[in-house]
Structure 1
Amino acid sequence: VSIYLIHRMTARKIKERTDFLVKFLDLPPPNRLVSQLSGGQQRRVSFAAALLHEPPLLILDEPTVGVDPLLRTNIWSHLIEISRTSNTTIIITTHYIEEAKQADMVGLMRAGRLLAEASPEGLIKHFSIPSLEEIFLKLCLQDGDADELEMKHHHGKNNIGFTNENDMQLEAVTSDTNRNSSQEGGFRLKKIRSKATQHIILKEPDGDDSIYKEEWKETGKYENFFSWGRFVALLIKNMIRMKRNLGFLLFSFLMPPMQTCLFCLAIGGMPYNLPVAIINEDLGLDPILEVISDLPFIPDLPNPYNDTLGQLYIDKLNDKTISKIYYDDYEDGYSAVKDGHAWSMIYLNENFTSGIIAEALGDSYPSITNHTSQFRGQGSVDIYMDNTNQQIAWTMDYEILNALDKFSLYLLNQTEFDASHLRLPIEMTLVYGSSNPSFTEFMAPGVIITITYFMAVGLTALSFIIERKEGLLDRSWVAGVHTSEVMLSHLVTQMVVMIIQIGLILVFMFPVFGIPCEGSMVLVILLSVLQGLCGMTFGLMISAASDNEMTAIQLALGCFYPIILLSGIVWPVQGMPQGFRYFSYFLPNTFACESLRAILYKGWGIDHFVVYMGFIVSFIWLIIHALLAEVLLWLRK
C-alpha cells in the first residue's frame, strides 16, 4: 500500500516486481521479517527495495559486497540491462575496481579527489595497462607525489603548514566527446583543480579544454508541500511498526494508570504509627488534694483521686497516628528521640494535675492562694521534637494540639461553664474547596498534566532516531516525502495511544480515587489532549536534534525535573523568588496546571482568564515545538 501511494504503482505491478526480485536475488519468502534475516540477506532486501519501483536514477553504495560471485555477475547483468532498456541512470560506488569495467564511465577517486574519469576502454588504451586496478595504483602514486611536491613547495615558500588539498593541482584523465582529440584514443592529460564531490566539472561550450567551470546541478523539487498519498503511506508504515512492537504498546498503556495509582496511594496521606516516647510522672491530685478537698471544683475523673489529668491527656492522643511508647525515665525517653527511635517525647511532670487545678482556681479562693501558687506554671505539656521531617512535624503538632483541645473541652464540661463561649471570634465561609483539603488534591492537576506530557514525550522522542538508524528516513527523502508529512504521520499515529493513556489516567484519578471535579469534564479532556500534543511535538523536537538514543533520553530527563519543580506542580509558584516565578510562566505546563486546578476545584469555564490562558499557552508551545522540530529535521536531512 505504501509503495502504491508514494510511487503510484499498481498492485499487480508491485506483485510482479516483488516476485521477480525475490527470485532474482535469492531472497527468503516475503512474509519473513527483515529483522529475522542474516546480514547478507538484509543487504539484498535493501537492494531489492531500491529496484522495486524502477526509479530513473539509482545510487548504489557497494551493492555487491558480501555477495557470491554468481549473484554478483547476475546483479551487474541486470543493472546493465535496465540502463539500456529502461533509460535508468545508475551510479555505483565499489572497491572492486575490476568489476567497474562493465560501467560506461568510471571515476577513480582518492581522498575525495577525482583522479580520472573516462570509459574503462579509454583508460586502458591511454595508459596501455590491461588492468583498471593497476591504473588506479599508478594514479594514486602520482597523486602521492603531487601531494609531496606541493607540500615541499608550500613549506619552502612560507615555512608554515600544509597546502589545502582542495586547491592542489592534479593530473586527471578525462574523455573528450565534443571535439576530436589530437592524441591517440581521444584522451589527454589535463590540469584541473579538484573540488568537493558535490560539484560537477563541466567543459566550457567553446571547446577550450584548459578552462573549467563549476555549476550546481539542481536535483529536483518536491511535487507539492503536502500529499495525502504520501501521508497515508507513512501512516500505514507507522501503524505496522507499532503493531509489531506490542510489548512497548502494552507498556505505554500500563504506565499511566500505574503512575496515577502510585501517586494517589503514596502522596498526601496522613502519616500514621508514628512512634512517640511518653514519660508520665504526674502524681494526680495528691500534691494539692489536702488544700482543695473542701472546694467544689474537683475534676470528675473515671476513678477520682487515682487517675491523673496527665493520663487523661495522653488518652486523648490519636492512637492511629501516634504509636505510644512509655518510658519510666526522662533520660531514656530523650535518648529514644536522640537516637531516632521516636519522633518526639511528651513529658508530663509530677505536678501536672496540681498545676492545672491551681491555674483554674486562680485567686478565686484567697484562703488557699498561698498554697496553690506554688503549683502554678507546672500544668504544661513538655514536647521534645525531631523537627527534621516537616510533614511529620506538622502532623505531630496537629495531633498534640488537637489532643490538648479535646482535653480542655473535657475539663470545661466538668464545670458549669459553657465551652461554646471559647470559640474564636472568626467566621470562615468557604468559597471554593473543602473544609479538609489534602495535598493529594493540590497535586492532582499537576500530576495529570505531567504524566500526560512526559508520556507523550516518550512516545515520540526516539521516532526519527530509530528511522534514521534503520535507513527509513533516507528512503523517505529519496521518495520525495516532505518533513511535514513525516512529522504529521507520527503525531497522528501516536495520538491514538496518547488518547487511550489520557482516558486511563482520568478514569483512575476521578472515579477510582475520587478526586473532585466541579467543572466541565470536556475542558479537562481537551486540555489534557492539548498538553499531550505539546509533549509529542517536544519529543519530535528532541528526536530531530539528537544523533542517538542516549542523547535523546538525556535531553528528555534533563527537562523533566525543571518542569516539575518550576510549574507549580509540587509547590505553588507564589512561593518562588520573583524572578523564578516569572520564568515559570513561560514553561509549557505552568498555566495548564493552574487552568486545570481552576476547572476541577473552582468549576470555572473557558471564559475565565486563568482557564483560557492554559489553552492558549499550550497551543503556542505546541506550534513552537512543531516548527523547531520541522526546521531541525529539515537541516539534518
Structure 2
Amino acid sequence: MESLHSDNTSILLQGVCKEYNHKHVLENLNMDVPKGCIYGLLGPSGCGKTTLLNCIMGTTMINNGKIKINIKKPSDVGLMPQEVALTTVFTIKETFQFHGKLLGMTNNEIEKTGDELIELLQLPQFNTRIGSMSGGQQRRVSFAVAFLHDPNILLLDEPTVGLDPLLSHSIWEYLIQQVARSHKTIIITTHYIEEARQANKVGLMRKGTILIEGSPAEIMQIYNSDNLEDAFLLLCNQEEKKNKIKRILPPTSTATVQSPLSKNRSFSFNRLIAQTYKNFLFMTKEIQLLLFILIIPVISCFVRNIAWGGDPTGLILSIVNHDTLNCSTEPLRGCNYEQSMSCRYLQHLYNSSNFIQADKKNLEEAKKSVLNNNAWGLIYFGPNFSSSLIDRIFSEITDIKNESLETGSIQVQMDSTNKIISDLIKYKLSEEFNNFLKNLYLDCGWQDALARAPIKIEEYIYGSKHPTFTKSQTASYLMGIFFYIPVVVTLGQIMPEKENGVMQRSRAAGMKTMEFIIPVAILQTILSIIQISTAFLIEFIIFKNPLVSSIWLPGSMLLLQAFNGLCFGLFITSISDSVSFTMTLSTAVVFFITSINGTLWPMEGVHPFISKVIWWTPLALPSEALQGITARGWNIFHPKIYLGYAALVGWAAVYLSLTYLFNYNKRLKA
C-alpha cells in the first residue's frame, strides 16, 4: 500500500476485500476517483458504503487489495461520518475550536473559516449549544467541521440526509464551487440516486462491490435511460440474473492491510492539547456532574464513619430475677454479703449503655419475648444466686458443692442470628461480670487480681486499646472507592463518545491511542488529587482514624490506585460499545473484588478454597499495604508495602495490555 503520485487520480482502490464474521462486506472492489471531481457513491443502505469510507480513512483494515491516495499528509483528507458525531454540550464555537486544534489550525484560522461556514450553511450564532439545535442543524455543523481545515479530499457520508431540498441544493452548489475553485476531490455517499446526477462521476454499489463507474450521462446512455435510478434498477436486475449462477469468490486473506492514512502517523502535541482541552471543557459544561464526582468521597467517607463499626446500643434483654423481688435503684457498693449480687451485677451491666432491661416474671414469658423479636436474649438468675455466688468465692475448691455451682451461675439464652450483636452481648456479659467481681474484691479489701483471668494485656504494639471496625477497615475502604470512582468516571467520559461517533471522528482525524489516554489520565489525576485530599480530611482529621505516617506515602498509593481504576475502565470500554453493558459489568467486577479485599470482612476469614487466590486480586495486596502504612507506619522498604505498589503497577499493565489487544482485535474485525 502506498500513496498515489498520479496527477489525474486522487484515490485508487484495487481488489479491495473486507470480511467480517466470515461474511464478505467488500468483495473485490475496484474504484478510481479522479482528482478535482465530485464522486457520487450510490447504493442502498447496507451495501458497504460506510465500510468503504472507513477503509479509506484507515479506521478499518482490509483483508485484501490496495488503497492508494494522492496526498502529502493525512490531514489533507476530511471526513463527515454518517452520525452527527458531535459533543452536544459544546457550542458551535467550542466544537470548531476542538476539531480545529485537533488538525493543527490556529485560533484565527478557526474563527475566519467558521464565520464563512456559518454564513454558508445558515447556522445559528457561534454560542449556540449543539444539543439545543434541530437534527438538520446538527448535520450542517457536522458538515462544517469536515470542511473546517480546508482538506484537499473530502469523504462525506450521507451529508444531505434529513435536510430540506433547498439546503441540500445549496450544499451541492457549494461542493461544485469548491471543486471548480480549489480543485478538491469529494466522495459523497447517498441513497438519493437522482441527487447524484450533479456529480462528475458516480459509482453504483451493491452487495459490497461497485458494479459500474462513469459519469451520470455515460451510465444513462449505456442503459438507454432518462434517469440514474432506472439505470441502476436495470443494472441490478442484470446482476441478479448473473448471481443465479453461484459465484466462487477468491479466498479472503486472514492478514490485514492498512490505508496510507493510518500509516506513519506520529505522536502529535496538537492532538494531545486538543483532546485535553475537550475533556476539561466538558467538565466545565457539566458542573453538576463535576460536583457530584468530587463530593462522592466526602459523602461516602462521612456516611461510613457514622454508620459503620459503632457498638450497637439500646439492645433489649429480658431479665428474670428469682434471686430477689426488687432491685434498688441506689448504687450497690461496699463489702456487704447481704446485698443482692444479681442486682449489683445488673447495675454494672446497664451502666455500659448497650442494653435496656425488660423485667419478666418467668422464663416462659422471657423466652416468648425473644421468640417474638422483642428482645435479643434473656438472663435468668435462679433462687439463692447471691448466697451461692458468695459460697463459690469463699469455699475451698474441694469443698464447693454442685448445688452452689448450679444456682450461682447466670443462665443466658440469645437470638444469635446476628453475629455481631450476639458476640457483643456475650462479650459485654463477660466483661461486666469481671468488673463486678473486681469492684466487690476492692470494696472488701481483697486483691482484685484474683477476680481476673491470669492474662495481662501489655501495651499494644500497633493500634489502640479499644479498636473499632471502622478504624480497622479505613484502608481497604479507601482502596475500594478510589478504584471504583475512576472506573465510573472513565466510562462516563469514553462511552458517550463511542456511542455518538465522536471518538470515531477523532480517530479519523489521526488521534492515536496514547493521545487519547494521556488527556483522560491528566483529568483523572487532578480529580483524584482533590478527592483524595477531601477523603483524608474526613477520615484522618475529622474522624481521627489512625494515620501514623506522613500523608505522602498513602496519598501516592491511592493516586496509583486511581490510575489503576482508570486502566480498568479503559479495559471495560474496549470490551463493548454498549453503555448499559459496560456499566453493569464494571459494577459487578468492582463489587466482587471489594467484597474480598477486607472491607466487609478480614481477608484471613475467607474460605480456605480461595485463601491462596484472594491475594492475587487487584485490591488485596494494596489494601494490606495501605493498612500497614496508615496504621503501622511501615515505609516503602517493608515487603508488604512494595508488594502493594508492585501489585498496582502490575494490574495497571495487565489492564492496558488487554485494552490494546481488544482494541486491535476489534479494529481487525471492524
Calculate the TM-score normalised by the size of structure 2.
0.79
Q: Which residue of 2 aligns with 1:486?
A: 516
Choose 1 or 2 for highest CA Rg: 1
- Residue 618 of structure 1, CA deviation: 0.7
Report Cα offsets for 1:391-442 as digits up to 9, x if no partner: 1011101111122112222333354532234444444432222122111111
Question: Partners in 2 of 1:492 and 1:572 — Cα distance?
Answer: 34
Q: How does 1:507-586 map to 2 (within 5 A)?
A: 507-586=537-616
2:298 pairs with 1:257 = yes
Question: Partners in 2 of 1:486 and 1:216 — Cα distance?
Answer: 24
Question: Partners in 1 of 2:402 and 2:423 — Cα distance?
Answer: 34
Question: Partners in 1 of 2:486 and 2:213 — Cα distance?
Answer: 53
Question: Partners in 2 of 1:450 and 1:230 — Cα distance?
Answer: 33
2:418 pairs with 1:405 = no
Q: Which residue of 2 aligns with 1:13?
A: 109
Q: Contact 1:484–1:630 (CA<8 Å) still a contact in 2?
A: no
2:268 pairs with 1:236 = no
Question: Partners in 2 of 1:548 and 1:364 — Cα distance?
Answer: 76
Q: Contact 2:319–2:358 (CA<8 Å) still a contact in 1?
A: yes
Question: Partners in 2 of 1:471 and 1:355 — Cα distance?
Answer: 84
Q: How does 1:489-508 map to 2 (within 5 A)?
A: 489-508=519-538
Question: Partners in 2 of 1:374 and 1:344 — Cα distance?
Answer: 25
Q: Which shifted more, 512-521 or 34-43?
A: 512-521
Picking from 347, 354, 377, the partner of 1:315 is: 347
Picking from 139, 142, 155, the partner of 2:235 is: 139
Q: Which residue of 1 aligns with 2:148?
A: 52
Q: Which has the higher contact order (CA 8 A, sep 6+)?
A: 2
2:136 pairs with 1:40 = yes
2:123 pairs with 1:27 = yes
Picking from 208, 216, 225, the partner of 1:120 is: 216
- Residue 619 of structure 1, CA deviation: 1.4
Question: Partners in 2 of 1:363 and 1:494 — Cα distance?
Answer: 72
SS at match of 1:265: helix
* Structure 2 letter corresponding to 1:406: N
Question: Partners in 1 of 2:443 and 2:488 — Cα distance?
Answer: 65
Q: Which residue of 1 aligns with 2:383?
A: 350
Q: CA 1:428/1:353 → structure 2, altered by over 3 Å: closer, same or farther?
A: closer
Question: Partners in 2 of 1:351 and 1:407 — Cα distance?
Answer: 18
* Structure 2 letter corresponding to 1:495: T
2:388 pairs with 1:377 = no
Q: Contact 2:100–2:148 (CA<8 Å) still a contact in 1?
A: no
- Residue 365 of structure 1, CA deviation: 13
SS at match of 2:473: helix
Q: CA 1:271/1:364 → structure 2, altered by over 3 Å: closer, same or farther?
A: closer
* Structure 1 letter corresponding to 2:239: D
Q: How does 1:133-172 map to 2 (within 5 A)?
A: 133-147=229-243, 149-150=244-245, 163=246, 167=249
Q: Which residue of 1 aligns with 2:267?
A: 226
Q: CA 1:420/1:303 → structure 2, altered by over 3 Å: closer, same or farther?
A: closer
Q: Which shifted more, 107-116 or 519-528?
A: 107-116
- Residue 576 of structure 1, CA deviation: 2.6
Report Cα offsets for 1:201-221 as digits up to 9, x if no partner: xxxxxxxxxxxxxx9683324
- Residue 4 of structure 1, CA deviation: 4.6
User: Matched residues, percent identical?
Assistant: 30
Picking from 298, 317, 321, the partner of 1:280 is: 321
2:395 pairs with 1:362 = yes
SS at match of 2:349: coil
Picking from 358, 361, 366, the partner of 1:325 is: 358
Q: CA 1:363/1:35 → structure 2, altered by over 3 Å: closer, same or farther?
A: closer
Q: Contact 1:104–1:119 (CA<8 Å) still a contact in 2?
A: yes
Q: How does 1:296-307 map to 2 (within 5 A)?
A: 305=338, 307=339
Q: Contact 1:483–1:633 (CA<8 Å) still a contact in 2?
A: no
Q: CA 1:378/1:624 → structure 2, altered by over 3 Å: closer, same or farther?
A: same
* Structure 1 letter corresponding to 2:433: L
Question: Partners in 2 of 1:364 and 1:139 — Cα distance?
Answer: 113
Picking from 390, 396, 407, the partner of 2:419 is: 390
- Residue 568 of structure 1, CA deviation: 2.8
Question: Partners in 2 of 1:127 and 1:574 — Cα distance?
Answer: 81
SS at match of 1:462: helix
Q: Which residue of 2 aligns with 1:90?
A: 186
Question: Partners in 2 of 1:216 and 1:438 — Cα distance?
Answer: 62
SS at match of 1:350: coil
Report Cα offsets for 1:120-165 as digits up to 9, x if no partner: 1211222221211111111122233333x32xxxxxxxxxxxx46x
- Residue 33 of structure 1, CA deviation: 0.7
Q: CA 1:111/1:577 → structure 2, altered by over 3 Å: closer, same or farther?
A: same
Q: Contact 1:346–1:383 (CA<8 Å) still a contact in 2?
A: yes
Report Cα offsets for 1:73-93 as digits up to 9, x if no partner: 221122122223323221111
Report Cα offsets for 1:426-478 as digits up to 9, x if no partner: 44432222122111111100011111111111110233221122221122111
SS at match of 1:564: helix
Q: How does 1:192-211 map to 2 (within 5 A)?
A: none
Q: Which shifted more, 427-436 or 471-480?
A: 427-436
SS at match of 2:175: helix
- Residue 300 of structure 1, CA deviation: 7.5
Picking from 329, 353, 369, the partner of 1:336 is: 369
Q: How does 1:461-472 map to 2 (within 5 A)?
A: 461-472=491-502
Q: CA 1:67/1:461 → structure 2, altered by over 3 Å: closer, same or farther?
A: closer
2:645 pairs with 1:623 = no
Question: Partners in 2 of 1:235 and 1:443 — Cα distance?
Answer: 36
Question: Partners in 2 of 1:618 and 1:381 — Cα distance?
Answer: 53
Q: Which residue of 2 aligns with 1:158?
A: none
* Structure 2 letter corresponding to 1:397: K
Number of corresponding residues? 562
Q: Contact 2:378–2:412 (CA<8 Å) still a contact in 1?
A: yes
Q: Contact 2:437–2:451 (CA<8 Å) still a contact in 1?
A: no
Q: Which residue of 1 aligns with 2:312?
A: 271
SS at match of 1:256: helix
Q: CA 1:583/1:554 → structure 2, altered by over 3 Å: closer, same or farther?
A: same
* Structure 1 letter corresponding to 2:428: E
Q: Which shifted more, 508-517 or 16-25?
A: 16-25
Q: CA 1:533/1:280 → structure 2, altered by over 3 Å: closer, same or farther?
A: same
- Residue 41 of structure 1, CA deviation: 0.5
Q: Contact 2:334–2:444 (CA<8 Å) still a contact in 1?
A: no
Gaps of 5+ in 1: 151-162, 168-192, 199-214, 286-298
* Structure 2 letter corresponding to 1:264: N
Q: Which shifted more, 134-143 or 529-538?
A: 134-143
Question: Partners in 2 of 1:616 and 1:304 — Cα distance?
Answer: 65
Q: Which residue of 1 aligns with 2:16?
A: none
- Residue 222 of structure 1, CA deviation: 4.8
Q: CA 1:246/1:271 → structure 2, altered by over 3 Å: closer, same or farther?
A: same
Gaps of 5+ in 2: 1-96, 327-331
Q: Which shifted more, 591-600 or 571-580?
A: 571-580
- Residue 579 of structure 1, CA deviation: 4.5
Q: Which residue of 2 aligns with 1:602?
A: 632
Report Cα offsets for 1:556-608 as digits up to 9, x if no partner: 11112221122233323222344523322222211111111111111111111
- Residue 520 of structure 1, CA deviation: 2.5
Instruction: Supply the RMSD in Å over aligned alpha carbons.
Output: 2.7
